């Protein structure tokens, strides 16, 4: 089976930079992306050291940085907040770099999807799988609900957002309109012997 290519339109509702060593990202009016990502961001670099999410490598092996930027959607943040029974889930609480509106199933965008901004281009590498760390960043904002952090991982499955790398350097500005090109896909099924 082959799917047909599709194009979506979206709007950038937030741009953020994550401080190295800090849990939350901070909102900006714009970010300049280079082939290493966002200079000054905690995930900046053309390469990175393998870690817990890279089971195919021993920890500490230098590999290509396919996690230069992370993005979330307003729609999925709303869904997660509803599942957690909280009023709001801010992108910066998840250390996101970008937030979009207009892509309800952002997390399901397949690898090799390209996101075209007015100057820059990002390539999606996959889903940003949820872990418990963002739940712990959300908790201080809802001190009256002492167990909210425990539910984040389950609430965010399939809705945590995407990871991407920079294919074309340039500026990304809050309010930018973007084109998202989803490539045609084949469902691979290995032959049985």
Pairing of strands 62-64, 170-173: unpaired
Q: Please list, in sequence order, all residues whose beta carbon lies within 8 angstroms of the beta carbon of residue 25, skipping any fewer than 6 positions away.
A: 16, 17, 18, 19, 41, 91, 92, 95, 96, 97
Q: How far apart are CA 115 and CA 189, in angstroms?
A: 28
pLDDT at position 192 is 82
Out of 1.10.10.10, 2.40.33.20, 3.40.50.1860, 3.40.50.720, select the CATH number for domain 6-182. Answer: 2.40.33.20
Please classify residue 131 by burial: count the beta carbons closer than 10 Å to its beta carbon, then call 0-12 exposed, 13-18 middle and 19+ buried. Answer: middle
Q: Please list, in sequence order, all residues whose beta carbon lies within 8 angstroms of the beta carbon of residue 137, skipping any fewer than 6 positions away.
A: 23, 24, 93, 94, 95
pLDDT at position 177 is 97
- C-alpha torsion angle, residues 47, 5, 127, 165 (rounded to 10): 20
Helices (H), 33-142: 74-84, 132-138
DSSP letter string, 3-15 = PPPEEEEEEEEEE
Instruction: Give ∠ CA 96-70-17 in degrees, rounded to 5.
Output: 50
Q: How far apart are CA 70 and CA 81, in angstroms?
A: 19
pLDDT at position 23 is 75
Report yes or no: 176 and 11 within 8 Å, Cβ to Cβ: yes
Q: How far apart are CA 41 and CA 163, in angstroms?
A: 14
pTM of the model: 0.91
Give the pLDDT of the chain (193 residues) as one tens digit per residue.
678 889 999 999 999 998 776 678 999 999 999 999 999 898 999 999 988 777 888 888 999 999 999 999 999 999 999 999 999 999 999 999 999 999 989 999 999 999 999 999 999 999 998 877 788 888 888 888 888 888 899 999 999 999 999 999 999 999 999 999 999 988 888 888 7
Task: For 131-162, write each residue's pLDDT tens digit.
Answer: 777 888 888 888 888 888 888 999 999 999 99
pLDDT at position 166 is 98
């Amino acid at each position: 089976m082959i799917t047909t290519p599709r194009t979506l339109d979206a709007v950038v509702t937030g741009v953020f930079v994550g401080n190295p060593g800090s849990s939350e990202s901070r909102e900006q009016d714009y970010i300049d992306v280079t082939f290493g990502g966002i200079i000054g961001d905690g995930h900046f670099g053309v390469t990175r050291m393998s870690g817990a999410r890279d089971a195919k490598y021993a920890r500490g092996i230098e590999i290509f940085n396919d996690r230069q930027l992370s993005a979330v959607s307003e729609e999925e943040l709303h869904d997660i907040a509803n599942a957690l029974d909280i009023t709001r889930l801010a992108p910066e609480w998840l250390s996101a770099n970008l937030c979009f509106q207009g892509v309800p199933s952002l997390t399901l965008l397949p690898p090799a999807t390209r996101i075209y901004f007015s100057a820059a281009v990002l390539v999606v590498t996959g889903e940003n799988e949820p872990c418990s760390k963002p739940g712990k960043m959300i908790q201080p904002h809802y001190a009256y609900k002492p167990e909210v952090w425990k539910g984040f991982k389950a609430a965010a499955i399939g809705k945590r957002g995407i990871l991407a790398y920079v294919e074309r350097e340039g500026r990304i500005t809050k309010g930018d309109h973007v084109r998202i090109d989803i490539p045609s896909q084949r469902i691979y099924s290995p032959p049985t012997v």
